[in-house]
Each structure stands twice: as C-alpha cells, then as structure tokens.
C-alpha cells in the first residue's frame, strides 16, 4: 500500500515540515523505550544489570531516566520490569510530567490517568511525597493503573473513577495533567488500525470531549497553578482549537512557552484552514515522528493567574 494508507494525513502536508520524510518515518517500527523507576532502583544499577546480560541500550540525551532498548523485543518480559525497576513508556509520553514544574509535597491531579505511565512518573518526580490523584472513567483501564503503581512502588497515589468532565470541585490542585483521549494519530507507528477511524466526525467528537475536560481542569487548579494539556494526535481540532476555545472562554489563564532542551519540536499553530487562532498558541509544542524518531505529541502549558 505504501503511502496510500496515509491518505487521511494529507491534510497536514502544509503544516508538517518535510512531510515526505514524516510519511517515511510512519513506516518504521517505533523504538522501544523505558523509564527507569528511581522509586525502586538507582539508574546506574539498572544500567549495569542490563549491560551484564548483553542488553543493548542508549540513554536519552534529554531525560536522565529514559533509555532506548535495541535488542529486546518485549521490555515487559525483562526481570527489571517485574521488579518494578523499569516501565515501558514511549519517549514523547515522558514529556508532559516534566513540564509540570513539580515540587515536593504538591497535590497533583491526573484527570485521564489510566493506564498510569504519566501518573506514576509524576509520583517518581515527587519522590513519593505530596499526593497524586489518578482519575479515569474506565474501570478496566484503572485495573491496569493499579497493577502499575503497585509494581512500581508508588505510595502517594489515590485512584478515582469519575468522568473527568464532572470531577468533583471539592478542592484545588497545585498541578493538573489532562492527557486527553484523542484520535491517536501519533501512535500510528504502533497501530496502523488508527487510520481507519480518522475523519472530521472523529476529530470534532474528540474536540467536544477534550474542551470539556480542559475547562474542568482549569476550575480544578489553584490560582498560580499549572495545567498541562497533551494529546498523541496531530489534528488541530483536538489540539490548538481546544486550547483556543478555553482561552477565549476563561479569563485569568495564559499560555507559557514550552522549554525542553534536547528534543526538536515546532510551535503550535496560530491559523488553521483560514481560521485565525489565539496568537499565544505559538507557545504550544508539536512533536512529529521524524524530528526525533518518536511517536507524535501535542502539549500546551497553561498558567492560572486568578
């Protein structure tokens, strides 16, 4: 089929730099990456154990706890996985928690947390201090989250099951992560089946859900706190148009620039299909597969001023 299978993505030819290279990367297998879990193990001890068994790896240049594995088919079959020393996690999936400016002792909400890669990474960054509320609407996915946080030695987490659009307004959090459900275009390298569901109906259905989640997150964060909004899709309807809507609906929030050394990304869009968007959306970041040999990610950083 070649590039024909990627016909639904042709709409992005104008906004994705080096589009032909982008398509070629979608044909390549996604590198296998894991996060070293410092709640249970020291980084150097884990690396030494892998090296002793002849497992080839490369440390991520931009994140000291991330590594890329080369001669391992399934990282989940490694002893280090069962011991909770590592957690399989796509490289760009590690980005959103690192943008949260987490401080020891903070109260943090992951509004769409299951199966828990980012939520457990938040606990790791907090070194099991403070408290992380990991919420998801899906009971089956929450069971995976529980398995993960128990295996990884997380001690500062509570699990809740609410529709994130109606999460109770009983307190305000220091930081909120909205890793929103999306059309998943950024995971095509792992699952070509994603392509079958793409189209305007999917994009706008997701848009309505995502903007409701982000509006709730803004209400749930304290003044001065941060909301990180992320998706693993390229669709502007699910990314910039969601953030644009919230910026225009809610006073007292502003976008902050994404600062991340060691990875290439492009700014968020300020125009799409003739529609002018909020100029501050250039502060957002788009990570494309061919820029760093990863999956895809969109991320926005919103500060609540009042």
Residues 10, 198, 28, CA angle at the centre, nearest 5°? 65
With contact defined as beta carbons under 8 Å apart, do 213 and 247 qualify? no
Q: What is the maximal distance between C-alpha atoms in the chain? A: 57
* Token pair of 232 as six digits: 């693993």
Rg (CA), the chain: 19
Q: Alpha-carbon distance 300 to 283, whole Å? A: 7
Spatial separation of the C-alpha atoms in residues 179 and 96, rounded to whole Å: 8
182 catalytic per annotation: no
79 contacts: CB under 8 Å, gap ≥ 6: none
Strand pairing category for 271-272 and 275-276: antiparallel
CA distances from 231 to 54, 228, 243 (A): 35, 10, 12
Selecting among 112, 182, 232, 283, the annotated active-site residue is 232
Catalytic residue set: 232
């Amino acid at each position: 089929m070649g590039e024909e299978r990627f016909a639904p993505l042709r709409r992005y030819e104008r906004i994705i730099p080096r589009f032909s290279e982008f398509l070629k990367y979608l044909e390549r297998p996604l590198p296998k990456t894991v996060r070293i879990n410092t709640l249970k193990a020291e980084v150097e001890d884990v690396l030494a154990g892998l090296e002793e068994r002849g497992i080839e790896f490369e440390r991520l240049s931009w994140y000291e706890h991330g590594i890329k594995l080369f001669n391992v088919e399934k990282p989940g079959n490694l002893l280090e996985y069962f011991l909770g020393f590592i957690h399989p996690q796509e490289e760009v999936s590690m980005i959103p928690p690192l943008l949260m400016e987490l401080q020891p002792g903070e109260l943090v909400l992951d509004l769409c947390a299951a199966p828990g890669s980012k939520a457990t990474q938040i606990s790791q960054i907090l070194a099991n201090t403070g408290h992380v509320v990991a919420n998801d609407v899906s009971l089956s996915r929450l069971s995976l989250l529980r398995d993960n946080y128990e295996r990884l030695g997380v001690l500062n987490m509570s699990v809740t099951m609410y529709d994130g659009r109606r999460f109770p307004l009983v307190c305000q959090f220091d930081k909120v992560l909205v890793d929103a459900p999306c059309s998943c275009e950024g995971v095509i390298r792992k699952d070509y089946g994603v392509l079958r569901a793409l189209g305007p109906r999917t994009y706008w259905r997701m848009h309505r859900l995502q903007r409701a989640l982000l509006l709730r997150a803004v209400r749930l964060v304290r003044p001065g706190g941060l909301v990180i909004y992320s998706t693993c899709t390229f669709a502007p309807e699910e990314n910039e148009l969601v953030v644009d809507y919230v910026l225009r609906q809610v006073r007292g929030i502003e976008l902050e620039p994404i600062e991340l050394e060691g990875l290439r990304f492009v700014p968020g869009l300020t125009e799409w299909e003739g529609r002018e968007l909020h100029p501050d959306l250039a502060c957002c970041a788009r990570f494309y597969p061919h820029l760093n040999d990863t999956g895809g990610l969109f991320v926005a950083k919103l500060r609540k001023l009042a």
